[in-house]
Chain A
C-alpha cells in the first residue's frame, strides 16, 4: 500500500517546527507503524536527508519509549496498543496520516517526534516508591496480600510510563500516570506507611512541573496502551483529600 505522511519536523528545542509531507511507498500490511517509518527513513538517508527522529526501543509494547500522535490520537486509533505494535493492516491504501509528537508544556520537543519526558521521572522522584533499602526485608510470605488486592495493584502497575495520557489530555494532565503508581502502592500493605505522604508529594510535584488538571474526559484511558482505568484517578482523588483531613 501507498500512504501520504504529514510529519512534524523540528531540528531542536529552540527551532520552530513545521509539518512536512512525505510519501510512504510499497508498505506491507504486516509492517508495524515504526517499520513503515523505518522504510521512509531509509529513503531519506539515501537521499542525504536527515531521517525523521522518533523514540523507540523494545518494539514490543512494553518499554514505553515510542510516542507518536497519529491522526490526533496518541499511539493511533487501535485501543490498547503502542505505536510499535500498531500494524499497517489497520490503515487503508492511499490514506493520509498525520504524525505529531506528544504535545504538552512539560514535554518540550527535543527533535522531530522526540520529546523530553523527564518531568514524569521527577513526579516519581517525589514519592513513586516504597522506602526500603536492600537487605532488610522480611520473608516475602510474611505479609499475605489478598489476591484481588494484588490483582488491582498489578492493573495499576502495568503503566509503561509512555506519557500517552498526557499527550491525549487536552489539559496535558499526568493524573492517570501518577494515579497508577499511587494506587499500585495504595492497594498493597507494603504501601500503607507512606500512603498519605506519597499522594501529597506526588501531586505537588505534578503541579510544579506544569501539567494540567483532570477534567474527567477520560481520553487518557482511551489511549492508554495498557488500558489503565480512570478508577485510579478517582481513588487518588479520594486519598488526596483524605490526606488533608
Chain B
C-alpha cells in the first residue's frame, strides 16, 4: 500500500516553511561525515544538491552519464530564472510569484510546496550572484530583469540567452570545489540502472560504467534522484539525446509512486521539423515572445512569402484571442493555438506545420541593435539551423515536447513514498502542477538543490536510524544480476531493426495520440499500439558490440526499453484524467470557446501510480489537493 502523506506543515501558508525548518531534526556537525548520500544526476538540481550537501559536511557520491558534471541539459535553458525580488518596483512579491506559479500550473500543484519555492527564490539569486554568475546588469550596475510568459511583472533574471548554462556552471563550480576537497566522489560516464531497497528503505543503486561496462553497486544512507524529465519518450523533443527516464522508472518499479506522468509541456517556440532524419528539435527561448508577434495568414493555404502578405491579411491570433496577455500567453495555450491554426490549414513552411514569429514591428520600434542585443544568439542559432535571416523574414516556429511536469511523487520533504529516496528537480512532480511557467524550471531545480533538500535531508538522516549495510547483501547482488541480465538480453537479440527505428515509432504514437490534444479514443488506440511494438522491440532489435565496452547503441537500447514500459503508464494517466488542465488537453473537456475546462470536483488531485507489472494497468492512488489560500479560478489570460 502506498502512503501519500504529503507531510505538509500546519499553520498559515507563509509560515509553513519557517516553522518546518524550526521543527526538523538536525544532524550534529561531527556526525555529518558519517552519512553517505548518493546523488544521481548533476544538472541544476543534482549538482547544487551534491555541492551543498558536501558543504554541510555530508559524504556525497555523485553520478552522471555525461563525461563531466558540467553538461546536463539544464545547460540549454536560455531565458532566465524567476525570483520575487521586486527589484523593478512593479509590485512583485513572494505571494504573487507563488500565485502566478500555481495559477500557471492550473491549480494542480501543492500549495505548500509552491509557496516555499517562491519564498526561497530570492536566496537563489543572491547565491548565484555570489558564485560569479554573470547576470545581465543595468547601467547602474544593478541586476536587470525581463518579463516572461504567464506573468505581468518583470521578475526574470538572465545571463544573455544562456541563463541555464551560467547557473549550471555556477553549480558545477561549487560541485567541483567539493570534489577537489574530497567531499564529493564523482562518477561521470556512469548510468544508474537499479535502485536497491533494503528492508523497504532506499539504500543504494546499481550503476553501469559506460566506458568499461562494469556493473557496480553503491551503498548510501539516502538516494537522491535528480535525473530530469522524460520528454525523449516522444523521440523528437528539445531534450538532450541522452535524457532518459531509466532511473526514475526503475525507482517506480521498486515501489516509488509516479505522479501525473501525463503532464508534458509542449513548448511553443521551437524550430519546425525539416524531415525524417531529424534527431532533435531545437527550442528558442520563449523570451522571444516579448518582442516577436505571432501570426499566420488569414487565408487557408496562403503560400505567399511572409513579407508579401499585407497586414490586414495576417491573423495575430494570440493577440486576438488573449488581448491582455497577447503573445505572452502561457506555453500550453500558445502551443495549442499554434496547432489549431495549423490544423485549419493556415500553417506556414513546407509542411504547413509552423507559424510566424515576426520581429519587424519591434525592429521598427527599438532598432535592430536592441533586438540583436536581446536575442542575437537566438537569431544566430535560427540562422544556423534554417539558413534564414530572422531579422529580415519572420522566423517559423512550431511547438515541441519540452518539459515534463510529472515525475516521481514526493512529499513536502522531497522524499518519495519509498523512505530514503529523495527526488528533486524535473524528476519530481512537485511544483509546476499541470503546466510550468517560463523561467521556473531553473528556479525549482536550484531551490530544491541549494535550499530545500539540504535541510530536509538532515531531518531524514537524523530520524531514520539506519543499520549498516554493505554491497554484499543479497539485495545488491540480485539487482546487479538483473542489470547484467538485461544487458545480455539486449545484446543477444540480433534482430533486424535498430533501436532508433523503434524509438521513432514509439514517439510517433505518443505524439499522435498523447500529444497536445488527447481524447478517449486516441488514448485507447495508443494502449493498443504500444504493447505489440514493445514485444517486437524485444524480439527484433539488433545491438552490436559487447557489454564490457563503451557501447553507445547498448546505452540507447536500455533507455528505449524503459520508455516502452513507461509510455503505457503515461497514457493510462492521460486516459484517467478526463478533465483538461494546463498542458493536458482532453478534447472532451473544453469550453464553448475551445478553451481547456478543468473539473475541480473530480480531478483536484495528484494521480500517483503504483507499479503492478509490465503490461498491466498500474494502481492509481490519489493525493487530494487542498487549497487553503488561493481560490480555484478558471485560468484566464484574456
Contact = CB atoms under 8 A, between A and B. Distances in A.
- A and B in contact, CB less than 8 Å: yes
Contact of B131 (A34, A114, A132): A132
The 4 nearest A-B residue pairs measured at CB? A144-B141, A129-B173, A137-B130, A140-B129
Contact of B141 (A116, A146, A161): A146
B67 A118 contact: yes
A147 B494 CA distance: 59
Nearest to B278: A35
A156 B263 CA distance: 38
Contacts of A140: 85, 125-126, 128-130, 135, 143
B381 to A, nearest CB: 7
Interface residues of A, number: 81
Residue from B48, B162, B180 with most neighbouring chain A CB atoms (10 Å) = B180
Contacts of B130: 130, 132, 136-138, 140, 190
A147 B274 contact: no
Interface residues of B, number: 88
13 contacts: A35-B277, A45-B498, A61-B381, A63-B66, A85-B385, A111-B549, A117-B67, A118-B68, A134-B450, A141-B142, A146-B137, A147-B139, A190-B131
B372 interface: no
A207 interface: no
A181 B496 CA distance: 48
A61 B284 CA distance: 12
Contacts of A133: 52, 55
B559 to A, nearest CB: 13
A65 B67 contact: yes
A30 B66 CA distance: 27
B176 interface: yes
A51 B68 CA distance: 23
Contacts of A132: 127, 130-131, 174
Contacts of A235: none
B270 to A, nearest CB: 10
Nearest to B181: A125
A57 B240 contact: yes
Contact of A131 (B128, B177, B550): B177
A19 B7 CA distance: 60
Interface in A46-65: 46, 48-51, 53-65
B277 A38 contact: yes
Interface in B538-578: 542-545, 549-553
A58 B384 contact: no
Interface of A: 11-12, 28, 30-32, 34-35, 38-39, 41-42, 44-46, 48-51, 53-65, 78, 80-81, 85, 87, 89, 110-111, 114, 116-118, 120-121, 124-126, 128-141, 143-147, 150-151, 153-154, 157-158, 160-161, 184-185, 188, 190-191
B71 A45 contact: no
Contacts of B238: 60
Contacts of B51: 134
A141 B549 contact: no
A51 B552 CA distance: 8
Given A31-B275, A58-B73, 20 more contacts: A12-B550, A38-B279, A42-B500, A49-B544, A58-B241, A59-B240, A63-B240, A120-B68, A121-B188, A124-B70, A130-B173, A134-B55, A137-B129, A139-B126, A140-B129, A140-B135, A145-B141, A146-B141, A161-B71, A190-B131
